Structure 1
Amino acid sequence: MRTKVWNVDKFVDNLENDPQIVDAAQLLRQNEVVALPTETVYGLGGNAKNDEAVSKIFAAKGRPVDNPLIIHIAEENQLDEFVAEIPEKAAMLMKAYWPGPLTLIFKQKLGVLSEKATAGLGTVAVRMPDHPVALALLKSCKLPIAAPSANRSGKPSPTTAEHVLEDLNGKIAGVLDGGATGVGVESTVVDCTEAVPVILRPGGVTKEQLVKVVGPVEVDRALTGGSAKPKAPGMKYKHYAPNAPMFLVDGTTDFIQQLVRDKQAQGLRVGVLATEETASHYKSDLVLACGKRSELPTVASALYDTLRTFNHEKIDVIYSEIFPTSGVGQAIMNRLLKAAGNHIIVEK
């Protein structure tokens, strides 16, 4: 399959009628899959009502079929077609953070969406992306679109069209290139089917921001202990991993440097994921500054591109600094822990 690439100017007026958007929308209506930019990462979109289209998403990604997909919409009234009810707190969150990096889980009306998209659950995860290209495509195709991240399953999520092509060139119908994404980590997923909303995946909207809108918010135990049947993407399987083994290090820069020397003595090429404040403290085969520790959103924005860079440099082992878990730091640490397979080295 030849993967088409459309370079789209996201600042064009009346973008949903742009010939390239219309072309991509037509492919979606034909049950092909198309990668599209959002404000978080690039998504791999397919018709959420059609089993064939959803199966193509899973096949391209190599994704386990029991891992549910997020449904993307452009208008709130689209919820009426496949959502059974909109709880009051969900409505409050929609008003505050849609469009934006927030996914809400609702009870679904059965028989509308492909069961493959919802992994056979009675619930459905939905968001409205805050990106002009994504919204234009959704409006043009007039479909709810299932869209996980547009990468091979388990690998770092894509934040540019080039990342998508690294993983999926020849496996999907097309890529809408709308430039680099902004937030850099996926949306926050919140279960709104219970009286107290529950965070199932931390992301671009922080717990602190959610609490300001709806009051008490819980964090699902699966974020630390695992879950038998995931209600949201990213809860069950290893994700975001670079090719080389990765370890998070809870320790000083001197301790991390000693770990580097020990591995180099074994003839290995060692990478360090640091920040602009600490990168100069390390001597290693590759030291990458992943944003500023003093500005954690910059770390989130650069995270996946940094992990992919380690792959390009053929590093044998990676050591990463850890980050505070307040604000977007919770999402950063969630992704790093999954990338490292929960391997943490603690300085004694």
Structure 2
Amino acid sequence: MTIIYPSAAQIDEAAALLDAGQLVAFPTETVYGLGGDAENPDAIARIYAAKGRPANHPVIVHLAPEADPGYWVRELPADARKLIDAFWPGPLTLILKRADHIPAAVSGGQDSVGVRMPSHPVAQQLLSAFHARRLGTGKQGGVAGPSANRFGHVSPTTAQHVRDEFGSAVHVLDGGAADVGIESTILDLSRGFPALLRPGHVSPQQIADVIGAAPRLPDGSDATAPRASGTLKAHYAPRTPLALLPFALIEPLIAAFDQSGGGKIALVARASSAGEWAHAAHVHFVAAPENPQSYARDLYGLLRALDRANVERILIEKLPETLEWIAVNDRLGRAAAAFEQEE
């Protein structure tokens, strides 16, 4: 399908809104972001209010291709420069010590800041237009941009997903469906060693190949790690109750649901696992993508579709616990945790 990107006039209009302290939802290669001027505390406050986001939960600053990352941080260490050269523009966020002139609000009050440079052409055009408006002012024009959804809910990967969340209250630039489909990898470099805070499309092995050291993986034991976007235990959740289980534990739940005489139950599993349950009258079956990249790209759209499918519960087959699946496992685990807390 041919994607018609926003015109230059539409990009300029959106940049003018950002310049005026208003919010603009924009596409990136990962998910759609809810953007505001990263150097304007009032605009940042509007982001938090629109999302219902806790004020101590930081947002990521998105930079134009021509922007200077060093403007936002106290220093840019050698490993950061290597990773920027290797992965920017792209789905990698770096956490570094925040420069003193950058508002603490963008970091949830912390002394660190997350920065990235998206690769989506519409994001780049918007960021460049906003950056150009700041030339000669002493400011850089970065855009704070968490995912464009209500806090804790499923992230948007299309412009329609954003409209479903906010209606006409937020100006939206349509750039088609996101290619990656889950949020950026977040790597902390603010403490003198690399630590993965949120897995994503850029893998731990790719990071290690560039900087010559494997990042510390998130295991719940890193008590000194800075807070980062999307790292709360419960996150990315649909409205329909969701459970993530080995298929051996899913089967008795499906059988019991059938006997209860209720409505339909959703099953997301490999076709080889589902067997007869894929065709059961009370089961809404979705064949799970076979590789991590396809699963990640389809995940949020699938969860939103299941919210509209009139099912009473979503059962998802647990994925292999290998590094190639770490990002999808992270998102599914946090989605399921939202309902574990309620039980």
Question: How far, CA to CA, are the matches of 2:183 and 2:324 in structure 1?
Answer: 11
Question: How far, CA to CA, are the matches of 1:193 and 1:43 in structure 2?
Answer: 24
Q: Deviations over 1:174-195 (max 9, x none)?
A: 0000100011110000011233
Secondary structure in 1 aligned to 2:68? helix
Q: Percent identity?
A: 38
Instruction: Give 2:256's aligned residue.
Output: 262
Secondary structure in 1 aligned to 2:187? strand
Q: Deviations over 1:223-272 (max 9, x none)?
A: 546868852111225211111221111234xx523321212322243111
Over 3 Å counting, the alpha-carbon distance change for 1:77 and 1:160 in structure 2 is closer
Question: How far, CA to CA, are the matches of 1:313 and 1:246 in structure 2?
Answer: 14
Question: How far, CA to CA, are the matches of 1:285 and 1:236 in structure 2?
Answer: 31
Q: How does 1:1-348 map to 2 (within 5 A)?
A: 9-10=4-5, 18-75=8-65, 77-111=67-101, 113-142=102-131, 143-172=141-170, 174-221=171-218, 223-224=219-220, 230-252=226-248, 255-266=249-260, 267-275=262-270, 278=273, 281-282=276-277, 283=280, 284-291=282-289, 293=290, 295-341=291-337
Q: CA deviation at 1:275?
A: 3.9
- One-letter amino acid of the counterpart of residue 289, structure 1: A
Question: How far, CA to CA, are the matches of 1:288 and 1:120 in structure 2?
Answer: 42
Aligned length: 326
Question: How far, CA to CA, are the matches of 1:91 and 1:276 in structure 2?
Answer: 44
Q: CA deviation at 1:343?
A: 7.2
- One-letter amino acid of the counterpart of residue 308, structure 1: R
Q: Is the 8 A contact 1:290 1:302 kept in 2?
A: no
Question: How far, CA to CA, are the matches of 1:342 and 1:333 in structure 2?
Answer: 14
Secondary structure in 1 aligned to 2:64? coil
Q: Which moved more, 1:67-76 or 1:124-133?
A: 67-76
Over 3 Å counting, the alpha-carbon distance change for 1:243 and 1:228 in structure 2 is farther
Q: CA deviation at 1:75?
A: 3.1
Question: How far, CA to CA, are the matches of 1:8 and 1:97 in structure 2?
Answer: 25
TM-score, length-normalised on structure 1?
Answer: 0.87
Q: Which moved more, 1:56-65 or 1:235-244?
A: 235-244
Q: Is the 8 A contact 1:40 1:101 kept in 2?
A: yes
Q: Is the 8 A contact 1:8 1:176 kept in 2?
A: no
Question: How far, CA to CA, are the matches of 2:201 and 2:33 in structure 1?
Answer: 15
Q: CA deviation at 1:217?
A: 2.5
Q: Which runs of 5+ in 2 are unaligned?
A: 132-140
Q: Is the 8 A contact 1:67 1:230 kept in 2?
A: no
Over 3 Å counting, the alpha-carbon distance change for 1:290 and 1:74 in structure 2 is farther
Q: CA deviation at 1:325?
A: 3.7
- One-letter amino acid of the counterpart of residue 114, structure 2: A
Q: Is the 8 A contact 1:337 1:343 kept in 2?
A: no
TM-score, length-normalised on structure 2?
Answer: 0.88
Q: Deviations over 1:2-50 (max 9, x none)?
A: xxxxx9734xxxx8x7111011111010110010000000011000001
Secondary structure in 2 aligned to 1:256? helix
Over 3 Å counting, the alpha-carbon distance change for 1:137 and 1:158 in structure 2 is same
Q: CA deviation at 1:309?
A: 1.0
Q: Which runs of 5+ in 1 are unaligned?
A: 1-6
Q: Is the 8 A contact 1:70 1:146 kept in 2?
A: yes
Question: How far, CA to CA, are the matches of 1:232 and 1:94 in structure 2?
Answer: 19
Instruction: Give 1:4's aligned residue.
Output: none
Q: CA deviation at 1:140?
A: 0.2
Question: How far, CA to CA, are the matches of 2:185 and 2:235 in structure 1?
Answer: 16
Q: Is the 8 A contact 2:70 2:76 kept in 1?
A: no
